[in-house]
Amino acid sequence: MADVVVIGGGHAGCEAALSCARMGMDTLLLTLNMDGVALMACNPAIGGSAKGQIVREVDALGGEMGLAIDDTMLQSRTLNLSKGPAVHALRAQADKQAYQNRMRRALFSQEHLIVRQGECVRIETENGRVKGITTLTGQFIPARAVIVCSGVYLKGRIIIGEASWWGGPQGLMNAAHLSESLTELGFELRRFKTGTPARIDERTIDFDELEEQRGDEPVEAFSFLTDRQLQNSYSCYLTYTTEETHRIIRENLSRAPMYTGSITGIGPRYCPSIETKIVRFADKERHQLFLEPEGRESREWYVQGMSTSLPEDVQWKMYRSLPGMHRCELTRLGYAIEYDCIDARELRPTLETLKIRGLYMAGQINGTSGYEEAAGQGILAGINAALSLQGRKELVLRRDQAYIGVLADDLTTKGTDEPYRMMTSRAEHRLMLRQDNADLRLTRISHELGLASRERLERAEEKARRTEELKETLSRVHFQKTEARSAWLQRHGQPESEATFTGTDLLKRPEITCRDLAELEPAIREYPPHVQKNTEIEIKYAGYLDKQKALIRKSRAMEDMALQEDLPYEKIDALRLEARQKLSKQRPRSLGQAGRIPGVSPADITVLMVYLKREEETLKQTSGE
């Protein structure tokens, strides 16, 4: 018997299984194929806009993804540096095979964790609670909790032009039977779709015709535990579609599964196929594409931005119409994949299902896309499964605490009618949720849960302490008008003044960094770069941060007003019928969450507040207060 069974070994399953085991739960990870564990079936990269923030949060919570990409990265860049720190995001190309091997080592060496190959065909329940699973070979595995992390494998169907077959990504098998069990348990399944570009033989790419994209130096690590200096070892390359590319695609739209009706699943709006781009943006003369390496031992390159399910003969013509690709050989064709997923509004914010206690869902089964979104859900579901079995209060991350909190709240409150991708615009408190302060936001929480190590906590506390120390130092040091100061101001393009400046005054200027100030005050060099960066942001954006904190305090009052799960919404006559139906189905945990449910109006929230107040007064009278 296992305490927890995790179904699926993708990015959600890996983090779910590791978090459960690290919290002392005897855990079984059941995967369709050992070769599919931590597979990067699409882009061989980790991070990106909003996604880099999630990876940092997974790391701060004690997860593995950040450490794994640091150990296997080929190239790293920080995106959006021309914008404010709220949207700065790390992105690293991975050696995809090395990443899989690195994650497998973490799984196979973890105490309390067993990894097995097999297919789950049924989730067994009794009296509304999970009691285990049954495999394709007929084995019943008792379990106190089950986390489904099935990715795109649930009744997966591959589509390339007129050809289609049942299967999983990259030639792996699909999960053909579990969907029926979920339907029997009362879950309403839907079909989503995603896709991937072709892979190209490196030897047939003319790199001298492409624009080289180098990585950033120095390389910034994902994990807060990575001390060594990482090195870029590969470049990526930039090319564009051409008029010929567009002509080939337009002339073959009648054969495109997206337009013939052979694809019925809903695809991702923010990562469309190249044929969708050509139709949707008909006025654009070209589309940007990136060629990215798949690994040190691989000769395959990934064409980011050119996902397709067009027929094979069209794919050959289309890819060979690109600059630098006129003689390219396709090692793997691009394809679309359809799969089953659930409506995430059937989940609690802990990612436990409303219908079945002890049953959790994480990753693409909840309607999301992306490795990072999956990992964030995986660690949240794993933590909550362990906490529930330990009889402890479960973890609900608020929208002002983490992007993972925004993700879980969006899914379970609003739901999604297309593959959900995290974006910085979804987070109303994104200046508070930066990638540089994820450790300060989440490490203590995770350590108290028994997941983050003591080393992680000590590092986060040291960073916080030294940041405050540096801020105090900058507020105390004064720079009067001197020849040295005048020369420094001129060197950095700053206006002269008769006034005396503190270090804080100077650092508030947009162009000035701690590194610049260290020329005037050498003591700043004693602080590590991550402390200097954190200090810069807190000083430069102090006004904005104070405003966000005020908004958070205001909204938290609504979040703290708990709603009982058995609240009889259908009997509250003053609520509109739609609100009664939505609230009864989703069972929000707080008044704040109730207010974010589509179809629940501010007037309905006022009615609930009055109802709660009356119930509180009645309870006081009954108890004789």
Question: Do residue 594 and residue 533 come from a single domain?
Answer: no
- The residue with tokens 């704040």 is 592
CA dihedral for 321, 323, 329, 335, sign (positive or negative): negative
Question: Do residue 534 and residue 610 come from a single domain?
Answer: no
Q: Strand, coil or helix: what is 291?
A: strand
* Nearest residue to 236 (alpha-carbon basis) of 99, 73, 93: 93
Asked whether the beta carbons of 374 and 149 are under 8 A apart, the reply is yes
Q: 183 CB contacts (<8 Å, ≥6 apart)?
A: 189
Asked whether the beta carbons of 379 and 61 are under 8 A apart, the reply is yes
Asked whether the beta carbons of 5 and 360 are under 8 A apart, the reply is no
Asked whether the beta carbons of 334 and 315 are under 8 A apart, the reply is yes
Report pLDDT digits (tens) over 31-73: 999 999 999 999 999 999 999 999 999 999 999 999 999 999 9
Asked whether the beta carbons of 300 and 226 are under 8 A apart, the reply is no
Asked which of 283, 317, 334 is the last residue of a domain, the reply is 334
Q: How far is CA 140 from the centre of its chain?
A: 33
Question: Do residue 330 and residue 265 come from a single domain?
Answer: yes
Please state, in angstroms and rounded to a whole number, the distance separating the CA atoms of residues 407 and 413.
10
Mean pLDDT per block of 10 residues along the chain (625 residues) reads: 96 98 98 96 96 98 98 96 93 98 98 98 98 98 98 97 95 96 97 96 98 95 96 97 97 90 83 91 94 96 96 98 98 97 96 97 97 98 98 96 96 94 93 96 96 95 96 94 92 92 94 94 93 94 91 83 87 88 90 89 87 79 65
**The predicted structure's pLDDT at residue 623:** 66
Is residue 300 a part of any domain in this protein? yes
Question: Do residue 528 and residue 569 come from a single domain?
Answer: no
Question: Do residue 215 and residue 291 come from a single domain?
Answer: yes
Is residue 478 a part of any domain in this protein? yes
Residues forming beta bridges with residue 301, ordered by sequence position: 200, 293
Is residue 182 a part of any domain in this protein? no
Report pLDDT digits (tens) over 97-135: 999 999 999 999 999 999 999 999 999 999 999 999 999
Question: Do residue 479 and residue 587 come from a single domain?
Answer: no
Is residue 599 a part of any domain in this protein? yes
Please state, in angstroms and rounded to a whole number, the distance separating the CA atoms of residues 527 and 531.
6
Question: Do residue 506 and residue 610 come from a single domain?
Answer: no
Asked whether the beta carbons of 572 and 607 are under 8 A apart, the reply is yes
- For 578, the domain range is 561-622
Please state, in angstroms and rounded to a whole number, the distance separating the CA atoms of residues 396 and 402.
10
Question: Do residue 263 and residue 303 come from a single domain?
Answer: yes
The CATH number of whichever domain residue 314 belongs to comes to 2.40.30.260
**The predicted structure's pLDDT at residue 261:** 83
**The predicted structure's pLDDT at residue 566:** 86
**The predicted structure's pLDDT at residue 624:** 60
Give the chain's mean pLDDT: 94
Joined tokens for residue 106: 């973490």
Question: Do residue 297 and residue 224 come from a single domain?
Answer: yes
Is residue 584 a part of any domain in this protein? yes
Per DSSP (E only), the strands in 63-128 are 73-79, 89-94, 113-117, 120-126
**The predicted structure's pLDDT at residue 609:** 86
**The predicted structure's pLDDT at residue 107:** 98
Question: Do residue 211 and residue 323 come from a single domain?
Answer: yes
For the purposes of burial, counting CB atoms within 10 Å of the CB of 101, is it exposed (0-12), middle (13-18) or buried (19 or more)?
middle
Is residue 440 a part of any domain in this protein? no
- The residue with tokens 């060099």 is 525
Number of domains the chain contains? 3
Question: Do residue 542 and residue 582 come from a single domain?
Answer: no
Please compute, for residue 430, the number of CA atoms within 13 A of its CA located in the half-sphere on the CB side. 20
Q: How many other C-beta atoms lie within 10 A of the C-beta of residue 206?
A: 13
Is residue 251 a part of any domain in this protein? yes
β-sheet with 45-47: strand ranges across: 45-47, 89-94, 73-79
Is residue 422 a part of any domain in this protein? no
The CATH number of whichever domain residue 614 belongs to comes to 1.10.150.570
Please state, in angstroms and rounded to a whole number, the distance separating the CA atoms of residues 91 and 55.
10
Asked whether the beta carbons of 589 and 348 are under 8 A apart, the reply is yes
Report strand pairing: 140-148 vs 359-361.
parallel
Question: Do residue 604 and residue 541 come from a single domain?
Answer: no
Q: Tell me: cis bond preceding 510? Omega within 30 of 0 counts.
A: no
